[in-house]
Homo-oligomer: A and B are copies of this chain.
Amino acid sequence: MSTTMTQTANGSAAHHGAAGPLDNRTSPHVQLHTLPYDSVTIRGGFWGQHRSVNRSTSLKHGYNMLEKAGNFHNLRLAAGLAQGAYIGRLPFLDSDVYKWLEALAYELANGPDSELQNMADEAITLLAKAQGADGYLNSFYTVAEPGKRWVNLRDGHELYCAGHLFQAAVAHHRMTGSTRLLDIARRFADYIDSVFGPGKRRGVCGHPEVETALIELYRDTGEKRYLTLAKYFLDERGHGVVGAQPGRAIYYQDHVPVREATTVDGHAVRQLYLTAGVADLYMETGEEALLHALLHQWHDMTSHKLFLTGGVGSRVSGEAFGEPYELPNDLCYCETCAQIASIMWNWRMLLITGEGRFADLMERTLFNGFLSGRSLDGKRSRYENPLMRRAGARAYGPHGNERAEWYECACCPPNIMRLLSSLSHYIATNTDDGVQIHHYAPADIGADTAAGRVHLHLQTDYPWQEVVMLSVEQTPAARWTLSLRLPGWCHNSTLRINNKKVPVAVDDKGYLRLDRQWQTGDFVELCLPMQPRLTVAHPRIDPTRGSVAIERGPLVYCFESFDQPSEIDLLDVAIGRDAHLEALWRDDMLGGIMVIKATGCWVDAAAWGDDLYRPVSTRTPVTNRPMHLTAIPYYAWDNRGLGAMRVWVPLV
C-alpha cells in the first residue's frame, strides 16, 4: 500500500482528499464541486444493502467471470504469460476488466479487504506486463489482430478501451494513492497523444468514452495535453472522420458536430458517454456552445425519449434512441449501460448548473431502470429493461429474457459494479457558501465551506420512509447554507429545524436553501410525503394511452404475475382513477420492500371473443370485476422466476 494513503475514520483507504469518479474541484465552469471521496460514507439503508451485495458477491463473481470468459487469459497472452489463442470474437474485452477494476478501487476506499486488494494488485500486475514498450495496451490488437492497430477506429473500440483504463487508473490512484495503474494509463495516453491530433493522424473512436476519461485523467494528473486531446476528439466528431457507411454515422455518433447537436440520437450508450464528455469539456473551458447543445439535447431526451423508469433507448435495432414519443413498453431496449451513462451525464449537468432537475433524473434512473439491471443477489444482469413482459413471452432482444451471469459483450455487469461501488460520490457537493444534499441515504458527510468545516449526519429509511433527518455534527461559527433537494415528485413537504416547523421555500433550482448560523447539534427533519400516486403519460405516446402507472416517492412500481391471483392474466387488469392505494411494508419479500396494494379490476376480455378488431358501434362485451392488485418496485422484478410484468395498466 502506498505511503500516501490514510485510513479514514471508517477504516477505508481513500487517498486523503482525492475525489471519486469525477473531481471538478479545480474546474472553473461549475456551480457545484464534488467532495473528496472519503467525505461521504453511506451507512446502511437501501443503497447500503445493494452496495453490500455488490462488494461481497458481485465483484468476486466478476473476477471469476473475467477468468472464465477469457478476459484475463487474453491479457496474459498479451503479456507473454500464457500460450494459446485469443478467446472471444470481440475487440473490447479489456474494457470489462477496467470497469471491474474501477469498482474494486472504490471498494478499497470503502473499506479494507485483502481479497479485493489482491485481486486488484494481480490485475494491475498483469496489465503492466501486457503493456507494450511504446505504451500501447490492448489484448485484442496485440494478440488476435496484431497488425491492425488503429486500422479500424470505427469498430475496433481501441480508444474506448483506453478510456475505461484511464477511468480505472484515476479511480485507483485517487482511492489508494498508488500510481501503479495510473502510470500504465499515462504511458498509454502519452502514446495515443503522440499518434492522434492536429498535424498527426486524424481519427475518432466509433464508441465515445475516451473523451470523458481523458478529461478526468487531466484533472487527476494536471497534464493539459490530455484535455487538449479530449477536445480534439470531441471536435473531430460529426465530420465523417469515423468513416461510417451511409446512414450509419448516427450509430457511431458521427452524424453531427457536438456543438450543433439538438437531439439525442443513435446508439444510446455512445450518445450519453459523448454528452458526458462534452459536459466535462464545458466544465474546463466554459464554451457556451457546448452547454447550449447539451441543454437542447437534455430537453429532447426528457421531453421525448425517456421511459418512466429513467430507461433510455427505445430500439433494439442499433441499441438506439427512437423517435420522439416512440416509447414501447414491451419492445424497448433501455440497456442498463444506457441508464448508467444517463446518470453519468446528469451528474455532470447537475454540477454545471446546480439544478435539481438533473438530480431528479439521476434519482429516477438509479432507483428504477438502473437497479433493475441486476438481480437482488448481485450475480445476474440484464441488458434490456422493458416495462412490460407478457407471460411466457419469447425474448425480443438478442440477450434472452432473463438476467444472465455474464454476456459475450459483458458491458453491463461491471458497469453496474462501478456505479454502485462509487455511489457515495453522488450524495452531496459543496460550494463556498455551503453544502448541497442531492440524494438521500443514511450517511456521514463532511465538507468544507468558506466559513469552515462542516460535518453532517444523515439518517433516513429513504425511499421506504418519508423522513430525512440531518444532524449537524460540526459547523463553523459563520453562516453557511445547507441545500436540500426537493425531489420533483414531492409535494407538500414539511421541514422542521430543531423540532420547530419551518416554511418550505424552494429556490428556482429545486432546493430548500437553509441559510443560517448553524450550531453543533442542530437537527433538521425533512418530510417528503410518499403517498402512492397514479401517473399518466403524454397523449402523444401510443402504448401508454389510457393507462396509468403507480409511483411512490422515487420508485416506479410494477405488477408482477406472482403477486396477483393466479387465475388472472396480467393483460386483463386495470385501475380506476379513484383506486385506493396502500403502501405496506413486507420484510419477507424481495429483500424487504414496500408493496402497494391497489383496488383494481379484472377486465373479462374473454367476452370480447376471438376477434382482434370490431366496429366501435357494437357494444363491446367486456365486463369489469373488482379485484385487489399488488404492485412491487420495478427494480425488484424478475427475481422470482420470469413471469408476466407490467408497469402501465389501463385506466378504467
Q: Is A543 part of the binding interface, using a Cβ–Cβ cutoff of 8 Å? A: yes
- Enumerate A397-453 residues with CB–CB distance to B below 8 Å: 397-398, 400
Task: Identify the stretch in A5-13, A505-513, A607-615 within 8 Å (CB) of chain B at 4 or more residues.
Answer: A607-615
Q: Who on chain B is nearest to A542 by CB?
A: B543
**A612 in contact with B328 given A247-B400, A542-B388 (CB within 8 Å):** no
Q: Is A73 part of the binding interface, using a Cβ–Cβ cutoff of 8 Å? A: no
Q: Is A393 part of the binding interface, using a Cβ–Cβ cutoff of 8 Å? A: yes
B611 touches A303 (CB 8 A): yes
Partner of A612, one of B304, B577, B614: B304
Q: Is A306 part of the binding interface, using a Cβ–Cβ cutoff of 8 Å? A: yes
B540 touches A571 (CB 8 A): yes
- Give the interface centre of A302, A543, A620 by most chain B CB atoms within 10 Å: A543
Binary B-proximity of A45-56 (CB < 8 A = 1, otherwise 0)? 000000000000
- Enumerate A595-652 residues with CB–CB distance to B below 8 Å: 603, 605, 608, 610-617, 620, 622, 648, 650-651
Contacts of A392 in B (CB 8 A): 323
A168 and B296 alpha carbons, distance in the complex (Å): 56
Tally of A interface residues using CB under 8 Å:
68
Q: Is A117 part of the binding interface, using a Cβ–Cβ cutoff of 8 Å? A: no
B539 touches A608 (CB 8 A): yes
Binary B-proximity of A532-561 (CB < 8 A = 1, otherwise 0)? 011111111111111111000000000000
B534 touches A615 (CB 8 A): yes
- Give the interface centre of A302, A398, A546, A651 by most chain B CB atoms within 10 Å: A546
Q: Is A529 part of the binding interface, using a Cβ–Cβ cutoff of 8 Å? A: no
Q: Is A61 part of the binding interface, using a Cβ–Cβ cutoff of 8 Å? A: no
Partner of A323, one of B328, B390, B546, B605: B390
A482 and B262 alpha carbons, distance in the complex (Å): 65
Partner of A316, one of B317, B330, B393, B546: B317
A642 and B4 alpha carbons, distance in the complex (Å): 64
Contacts of A396 in B (CB 8 A): 315, 317, 322, 326
B329 touches A542 (CB 8 A): yes
Q: Is A572 part of the binding interface, using a Cβ–Cβ cutoff of 8 Å? A: yes
A265 and B614 alpha carbons, distance in the complex (Å): 24
B247 touches A299 (CB 8 A): no
- Enumerate A307-363 residues with CB–CB distance to B below 8 Å: 308, 315-317, 322-331
**A612 in contact with B539 given A533-B617, A571-B325 (CB within 8 Å):** no
B545 touches A612 (CB 8 A): no
A299 and B535 alpha carbons, distance in the complex (Å): 36
Q: Is A89 part of the binding interface, using a Cβ–Cβ cutoff of 8 Å? A: no
B250 touches A608 (CB 8 A): no
Partner of A572, one of B397, B540, B611: B540
A536 touches B613 (CB 8 A): yes
Partner of A610, one of B302, B542, B548: B302
A394 and B323 alpha carbons, distance in the complex (Å): 7
Min CB–CB distance A517 → chain B (angstroms): 38
A329 and B613 alpha carbons, distance in the complex (Å): 14
B330 touches A326 (CB 8 A): yes
Min CB–CB distance A264 → chain B (angstroms): 13
A535 touches B331 (CB 8 A): no
Write 14 A-B pairs (CB below 8 A) sorted by A numbering: A250-B394, A302-B612, A308-B613, A323-B392, A324-B390, A325-B390, A327-B612, A534-B615, A534-B617, A535-B615, A536-B615, A538-B605, A539-B603, A577-B616
